Amino acid sequence: MPTAPFPAPRAAAASSGPTVAIDIGGTKIAGALVHPDGTMTATTRRPTPRDVDADGVMAAVAEVVAELSESPLWASAGRCGIGSAGPVDASRGTVSPVNIGAWREFPVQERVVAELAAHGADLSTVLAGDGVAMTAAEHWLGAARGHANALCMVVSTGVGGGLILNNQLHPGPTGNAGHIGHISVAFDGEPCVCGSRGCVESIASGTAIARWALDQGWTPSDTGSDTGSGTGSAGAGGGDATAAGVAAAAAAGDPIALAAFDRAGRALAAAIAATATLVETDIAVIGGGVAAAGDTLFAPIRHHLAAYATLSFVKDIQVVPAVLGTHAGLIGAAAAATMLLPSSSS
């Protein structure tokens, strides 16, 4: 995380108080007070509860809010941002995270507002999907900083993303604008879980990369990497049958593994070029577990991008890795709230 202070996001509130940030994912629920210079205090986290009902999951969120409220800076907080795994519907304040089975159309925004109020904080609150939150974070403090028009992507178990247009976060009416994972890039491609066909996610997600490699006859090695996307499951022989294992095999020169990443890179390149052509973004920032493969992923993206981004106004688009890592969720939740909520001098 950057140590030097940075200016607050473009639509920052006039007050110098922190933003309450809550990051909800399938493995952890985190919270922090995020300050206008990007520093965080009072950070806390809980494991996301398993085998509980909706209220059981919400109880962990309530514990995070309660712990944040013990900070001496709590009373000066100016707003709240919630970043959550999706799908989200920001227009209704609801979430149905794929990896939190107890929450389906759960009114998380309303429930968080009630928890804030119970601890004396009557705060305007924004709900953002994790791809949108990551976009806000990378534009404020990360790899998209200084770019007025950017596409940011999370390539992991799924593929999500968000847009910065004219220096403004552009979440769309339901908070799903920039969801690049469900752009179709293969007219005759396989069916996607979303109901469409040939989507980026069905080709380039960590799950899809591992599945395709296994279908082509790739055999996980016992010496494969055990870090990265965390998708898939261990192979029968004890090797790493996830996208991280495929990446390790590709780095060692395995032809099927290389082909799997080349295929994923081509899908991502086509989607990046299509987005840039549509809204004139000049940078694509890619984070998520699969991006940890480094040049194994980025080299084929850049190679194929030359064949798709051919018009004069998109041919120079940059493709770079995200830099905020695990901090992106909390920083992004705060940045989204600061960019999307009206300014206040309270």
Report helix angle 130-141 to 328-340, nearest 10. Answer: 90
Q: C-alpha angle with apex 259: 201 to 295, nearest 5 degrees?
A: 80
CB 41 within 8 A of CB 20: no
Those residues whose C-beta lies under 8 Å from the C-beta of residue 69, and which sit 6 or more positions away, are: 119, 120, 121
pLDDT tens digits along 102-117: 999 999 999 999 999 9
* Mean pLDDT across 266-290: 97
Q: How confident is the model at residue 67 (pLDDT cuts 50, 70, 90)?
A: very high
Q: What is the CA radius of gyration of the chain?
A: 20
The per-residue pLDDT for 99 is: 87
Q: How confident is the model at residue 7 (pLDDT cuts 50, 70, 90)?
A: low
* Mean pLDDT across 34-54: 96
For strand 283-287 and strand 168-169, is the pairing parallel, antiparallel, or unpaired? unpaired
CA dist., res. 314 & res. 306, Å (int): 10
The per-residue pLDDT for 225 is: 40
CB 11 within 8 A of CB 168: yes
Q: How confident is the model at residue 342 (pLDDT cuts 50, 70, 90)?
A: confident
Strand, helix or coil for residue 337: helix
- Whether 231 shows a pLDDT value over 80: the answer reads no
**pTM (2 d.p.):** 0.89
